[in-house]
Amino acid sequence: MTQTEVDPRQLEGGLRRVIGRKVLMLFVVGDILGAGIYALVGQVAGEVGGAVWIPFLVAFVLAALTATAYAELVGKYPQAAGAALYTNKAFGIPFVTFIVAFTVMMSGITSASAAARAFGGKYLAEFVSLPTLVGALIFLALVTLVNLAGISESIKVNVVLTLIEAFGLLVIIVIGVFALVSGDGEPSRALEFHPANGAFLGVLGGTALAFYALLGFEDSVNLAEEAKNPPRDFPAALFGGLAITVVIYVAVAFTATMLVDAETLRTSTGPLLEVVKVAGLSFPPKLFALIALLAVGNTALINMIMASRLVYGMARERIVPSPFAIVHPTRATPWVAIAFTVTIAVVLVSTGDVGGLADTTVLLLLCVFALVNVCVLVLRRERVEHAHFRAPTWMPVVGAVSCLFLTLPITGREGEVYLRAAILLAVGLVLWGVNRLVVGRVDAVDPGGIDKN
């Protein structure tokens, strides 16, 4: 990092720069917290057979490696658009930029679909007995209505839900502290390790799933044009937000296995509800189930907003067919793009389970993360005048290798996950091809236009 002061001209843009470091960090924490920890603790327990916190800790280390690449790139290029922008600057190939943007978009839909399946499980069963699929589809309909209502309404709902989901995890941590002080539970069980496929493959499989719970930190780069000083503030916000989140997750995971055996967690669609029900510290299960449902809803809402806006932005840039840019005359929301993304989500919810859909999300984003780590090395050839964070070279190198390694079948990932990801990307290829027949060759892609529209 050089000692040159940040050149204000490098930070000029159309958006107001009002977000400071603390708010950025809160955004990172809020964006990561959500359905992952509420829904997947049991799935991870099934992989390692006890010490659930280990895969979450390993996933944090791997996420931190990729975060260094994002921290360098967002400081170097303080603009919105994230991975698509960096890919465009590094390689300048419109089709590759499109595929990256489309992969990010599809990862949002698969993530929302995983959240929908989690919503329709045991948490919902505390209130009404419905088949999981029916509950998931009703949930998607509600999320779609909020999305259609308008971005202002959606963001207000998101802020409230973020506070609620954080409170729910705090409840679990307090339960854990109380259990330790009072002598309840079995702390030794949280240190046991009985993976069905051996230690290495067990941790690997658990890490691949736990990684889903840490996704979201990369979304913060989309606030680059609204941050007061991105080169200075983003590294601290990214690493600080990730550190806070992993402390929360490890505490929650430790509490879960201390109070509930791994098999019960594995078979439950509401694993943290199992913790509340056996806790010595009384907390109404129905209230916690409601908190969990709202947390899951927040994850889906964030992802469906992102996905629909990306499709809309790509249509505005004439990268995909223009009808996706049609806006509702009164609500000013991209209703065609919303309809497209929710249709894909309905298909995914109808054909996949929580674990498979979460794993598909991880697979798609691991490919993007690997490319971002490569981009930071390629773009070292391009200098900027202002000071910015520079990642130690070994970190993006290890980040790229580890992300690619986690995409391999050795993690225990099922074949249907790869098939699902391939089909989703094939949809993008079809849209690109149709658009090229109608519009002609696309000579350039503006990632900033994709993101902001």
Tokens of 45: 């327990």
Nearest to 388 by CA among 80, 78, 84: 78
DSSP string, 193-236: ---TT-HHHHHHHHHHHHHHHHTTGGGGGGGGGGBS-HHHHHHH
Q: What is the pLDDT of residues 171-204, one digit of tens each?
A: 999 999 998 888 887 888 878 877 777 778 888 8
Task: Quote the pTM value.
Answer: 0.87
Write down how long the chain is: 453
DSSP helix, strand, coil percent of the chain (3-state; round to 5): 75, 0, 25
Domains along the chain with CATH numbers: 15-452 (1.20.1740.10)
Q: Which two tokens stand for residue 17?
A: 């720069």
Dump pLDDT digits (tens) for 152-176.
555 566 677 778 888 999 999 999 9
For 114-124, write each residue's pLDDT tens digit. 999 998 888 99
Query: Where does the pLDDT of residue 232 fall: very low under 50, low under 70, confident under 90, or very high at 90 and above?
Result: confident
Structure-token pair, residue 343: 């249709």
Task: Give the whole-angstrom CA distance, residue 139 versus residue 293.
Answer: 10
pLDDT for 34-83, tens place per residue?
778 888 888 888 888 878 899 999 999 999 999 999 999 988 887 766 78
- C-alpha–C-alpha distance, residues 225 and 138, integer Å: 36
CA R_g for the chain: 21
Report in angstroms the alpha-carbon separations of 400 from 67, 74, 180, 210, 426.
Answer: 11, 18, 39, 18, 24
